[in-house]
Structure 1
Amino acid sequence: MNQTILCVGETLARLSTQVGVHFFDTTGLQLHYGGAEANVAINLSSLNHPSVYFTKVPDNQLAKAAIKHVQKYGVDVSPVIYGGERLGTYYVEPGAGGRPTTVIYDRAHSSISQMKKEEINIDELLEGKHLLHITGITAALSEDSREMTYELMKEAKNRGIKVNFDMNYRAKLWSVEEAGVFLKSVLPYVDYLSAGKLDAINFLGIKEAGADVSDELAYYYDAIHHLYPNVEIMYSTIRDVISATHNTLQGTFWKDGKTTYSKVHDMDFIIDRIGGGDAFASGVLHGILEEKDPQYIIEFATAFSALKHTISGDASPFTIGETERIMSSDARVDR
């Protein structure tokens, strides 16, 4: 049975300088559309899962183009609300060598951040859905967004809909203290959680692992599960940044007290890192929905994320077959 996934979040216009061009010197910007939950909706649709996307955007051509971008991948965008003043925007200067990628947000007072929960018909939005995907980014946009996120997660849990939550902390959007208070309020409603070591320490107050701990990440997963036994699955990546265009990536997956690791992907020519985390989350959800074993799930998710790093833009349009081909093989000519 196909299980329908609801993704709720902010759609953004992304404007990027050319590689090697500083913000001070750019004379042209490349346009992409993004947003964490929109990316996951697109990714899951590319992996043959029925996906529905909900947001609020202004009633203008730019915003409609952003929604059509999501729709062209097969995502159901019928719940989208039009209204408000502006589409959130962010600007990217791609990094190189020791110079990191720079992101500038311009999303204050965007349509979704100003949306009231009274504008949402929760019954209609959750009807027929099997999984809700939402992130801490959406909660960070405003008090209204925080309230909407909380209510959606709580209602989904009450209706037996699985909740996947990606902490996805953004320091430019809210403080550690604000995030910690909110995260503790919603974690009792979460079934699947994207979180790692720093999330456990900074937001949940978990004591750092001692030198005698043999598997540090397993220690943090177990500690989170002790606090929130409702969380069935946890996952995250281990990334080693050698340079802005050369990283290694390894996926981790926790279930039933066991932590499973993927092979390490050596990504030595990154085209675009943004959206890599969303691709990873999508790969994990794909494996869960397909009832795959933990090793397959984490190998698939990490490969799917590694593929995203090879293209420009926020979403990962790769198929199941394309991803499975690189799970256990190196790059080659596909004839």
Structure 2
Amino acid sequence: MNREASGAGTPDVFTFGETMVALRGDGPLRLGGAMTVSVAGAESNVAVGLARLGHGVRWAGAVGDDEAGELVLRTLRAEGVDVGAAHRDPHAPTGLILFEARLPEVTRVHYYRSGSAGSRLGADAVERAFTAAPPRLLHLTGVTPALGEHARAAWERALRLARDHAVPVCLDVNFRGRLWSRRVAGAFLRPWLPYVDVLVASADELPLCLPPDGPAPDPEEQADRLLGLGVSEVVVKLGAGGATAYGDGGAPVHRPAVPVRAVDTVGAGDAFVAGYLSALLDGAGVAARLERAVTTGAFAVASRGDWEGAPTRAELGLLGGEDDVLR
């Protein structure tokens, strides 16, 4: 469904999370030099990717009442994302992330987000943004509940609202070891799996969602166990190996990665999710959803930045991807 078809004020997708000002250098930070200024955040990366593909997206994160926060909102607004429900926090700053290029394929990331506005987003603000016009789909990541008790409560409220309004949920596990341990993340996420319709995870994130008992099964067995816990669909990102989707009553569906020259892998997972959800909203089947996802992921890998390389719908065929019926 495109933006015009979604109806005035009714988004295709509702999401929220912390978006930070992003500074990118060309070499070691200790040597100084010029840096480019942009914004970055897992959920807003997906929001931009979906907006470029023609979908209506509402983002309801929190930023500081500062110039950095204005940059975040201005950037998302310019990309067609609805930020009318975003909150400006006068008591906390907008977070900061620094990207340090150390080797051609190695980028170090430094976060300055402790006590940030994004970590203080309230559950009531999320409820107001959600119920103002319930979306067709709710997208969450595992980053937000790791930010602190306020963000965690907002995340939980969103899941309950989605259940109350019969809105499907996509959860990208997106584990961040700097924010919480695998043990804590797994203990928190597992009880919420029955609320999730589409679970997206890399192969090494799947065990986080399963009870830590017995020998670790292979990804197909893990996906089957997750389906048994109530998840409708499990999508496993395999990096250069492509992706595989598992669902009830059908054989696994796999699509290889689209071959491109890798420039920057940051944001590739978010671009993948945007492509998958876009095709899902269009009513495409699993194979076509994976095809669009690996295509949008390839655009991200071939471009610098978290979201800057995300394709428009008209550009999807540039890598030799989709059938015309899906464009």
Calculate the TM-score normalised by the size of structure 2. 0.88
Deviation larger for 184-193 or 272-281: 184-193
Alignment of 1:1-335 (within 5 A): 2=6, 4-18=12-26, 21-83=27-89, 84-97=91-104, 100-118=106-124, 120=125, 122-126=127-131, 127-204=133-210, 205=212, 207-208=214-215, 216-226=218-228, 228-229=229-230, 231-239=231-239, 248-256=240-248, 257-267=250-260, 269-315=261-307, 316-328=309-321
Q: 1:202 to 1:77 in 2, by over 3 A?
A: closer
Q: 1:237 to 1:187 in 2, by over 3 A?
A: same
Unaligned runs of 5+ residues in structure 2 are 323-327
The whole-number CA distance in structure 1 between the counterparts of 2:95 and 2:299 is: 27
Displacement, 1:25? 1.2
Whether the 8 Å contact between 1:79 and 1:125 is mirrored in structure 2 is no
RMSD: 2.0
* Percent of matched pairs sharing the same residue: 26
Structure 2 partner of 1:244: none
SS, match of residue 54 in structure 2:
coil
2:312 maps to amino acid: T
The whole-number CA distance in structure 2 between the counterparts of 1:140 and 1:153 is: 15
2:71 maps to amino acid: A
The whole-number CA distance in structure 1 between the counterparts of 2:320 and 2:286 is: 14
User: 1:121-160: CA deviations, max 9, x gaps?
Assistant: 6144233311111111011101111111111111211210
The whole-number CA distance in structure 2 between the counterparts of 1:12 and 1:48 is: 24
Whether the 8 Å contact between 1:13 and 1:34 is mirrored in structure 2 is yes
Q: How many residues align?
A: 309
Whether the 8 Å contact between 1:276 and 1:309 is mirrored in structure 2 is yes
SS, match of residue 258 in structure 1:
coil
SS, match of residue 72 in structure 2:
helix
SS, match of residue 143 in structure 2:
helix
The whole-number CA distance in structure 1 between the counterparts of 2:143 and 2:273 is: 14
1:221 maps to amino acid: A
Calculate the TM-score normalised by the size of structure 1. 0.86
1:11 maps to amino acid: T
Whether the 8 Å contact between 1:236 and 1:252 is mirrored in structure 2 is yes
Unaligned runs of 5+ residues in structure 1 are 211-215, 240-247, 330-335
